[in-house]
Amino acid sequence: MLTLRDEKRWIGFWMPAAAVMLAASCSQFKMPDADRGPVAVQTEDWSYGRSAGSMARSQHYVLHTTCSEEPFVDALPTFMEACYDAYGELLPPAKQPGEPMKAYLFQKRADWERFTNEFSPTRAPTYLKIRRGGYSERGVTVSHYSSQRGTLAILAHEGLHQYLEATDRGRIPAWINEGLACYFESFDLQNGRPVFKPERNSLRSPYLREALQRDNLIPLKEILGTNAGAAVHRPTGHVRSYYAQEWSLVLFLLSDEAPSEYRDGFKKLLDDLGTVTMEQRATSRLNALGDGSVSPGEAVFRIYITEDLDQFDADYRAYLKKLLRLES
């Protein structure tokens, strides 16, 4: 059990997650079958203020939306259920959600802003800094439409945050939470279902390339210790680099390019993710240090991945150059 001092230290370790979407090789785990049968859906009318819309209920989701383009809206439950299957392949649920998870997708940003102010008045000033994207809080995702492709990427990203909370994963390091969410942003569509292609993330790779070429990557220690709520208050270039590096960090740890020490450690971390075991191990490390020099996110990284941050950073940068085809 955490002491009051421990509890204060872990504030910000996990927080409601926001996705900043700036636009709209094979993954290292078994993907669900894209040819599965149709998803059972119940629909009814729904509205928000003067904006008419619909509500669709499937096995794991209740989607409220004011979007009106029928083929797109009709395909959303199938897309979201396929995302749920993919999340579960990588991170088997600690428990099944007790009820379908709620998602809100607004056609107009003005409705999204109004709903955000009503739903989360305390955090609304932070969320409203997101120009294109969404957020997940209290097991609910809230997004607004950008384009069909970009909106689906937002739903996949925020859905991962929601899934971790709904399946009782507990408190999770922000670098893993955001990195895994970004991991699900890139996909091909087959029969309305996403086939994830995390190495081809065109939402993030241009900004990662820019930061790497300018030798302006955010230091690893900062990446491990920062959460999205803090990042979105920084300049736009920093925000872009933050999400791009979170994506590529998880991509590296799941790839065959990573040394086996890193891959095996990350697999063990995913097994322990959000559990009492992970939290107690990290808390013990923080108490042993006692000087505040290491964040909870860094402590988890050091325990499961490696203590040698300098060597890891060198290996990671070498991987990025290969990923982005920047080798000299």
Task: Decide if 315 is inside a domain.
Answer: no
User: Looking at 136-145, 210-219, 288-297, which range is the least confident one?
Assistant: 288-297
**Is 219's pLDDT higher than 90?**
yes
Task: Decide if 86 is inside a domain.
Answer: yes
pLDDT tens for residues 76-107? 999 999 999 999 999 999 888 989 999 999 99
Can you read off the two tokens belonging to residue 235? 């300049």
Mean pLDDT, residues 181-206 taken together: 94
Rounded distance between C-alpha atoms, residue 126 and residue 205, angstroms: 25
Mean pLDDT, residues 287-298 taken together: 87
Our CA dihedral for 254, 151, 144, 121, rounded to 10 degrees, sits at -10
Give the total number of structural domains in the chain. 1
8 Å CB contact between 40 and 59: yes
pLDDT tens for residues 32-41? 555 566 799 9
Can you read off the two tokens belonging to residue 101? 């998870």
Task: Decide if 99 is inside a domain.
Answer: yes
Write down the pLDDT at residue 235.
Answer: 78
Q: Which amino acid is at 57?
A: R
Rounded distance between C-alpha atoms, residue 120 and residue 17, angstroms: 13
Mean pLDDT, residues 200-218 taken together: 94
The CA radius of gyration of the chain, in Å to the nearest whole number, is 19
Query: What is the average pLDDT value for the chain, to the nearest integer?
Result: 88
pLDDT tens for residues 246-256? 999 999 999 99
Write down the pLDDT at residue 6.
Answer: 37
What phi and psi values does residue 128 have, to the nearest 5 degrees?
-70, -10
Task: Decide if 318 is inside a domain.
Answer: no
Place of tokens 């009709």: 74
Task: Decide if 40 is inside a domain.
Answer: yes
Q: What is the CATH number of the domain that holds 163?
A: 3.40.30
Q: At what angle do helices 260-272 and 296-304 cross, to 10 degrees?
A: 120
Mean pLDDT, residues 163-184 taken together: 94
8 Å CB contact between 211 and 226: no
Place of tokens 């964040």: 295
Write down the pLDDT at residue 32.
Answer: 55
Rounded distance between C-alpha atoms, residue 207 and residue 213, angstroms: 10
**Residues spanned by the domain of 141:** 15-170
Can you read off the two tokens belonging to residue 3? 């002491």
Mean pLDDT, residues 139-163 taken together: 96
How does DSSP classify residue 217? P
Task: Decide if 66 is inside a domain.
Answer: yes
Can you read off the two tokens belonging to residue 276? 């009492």
pLDDT tens for residues 114-136? 999 999 999 999 999 888 889 99
Task: Decide if 220 is inside a domain.
Answer: no
How does DSSP classify residue 30? P
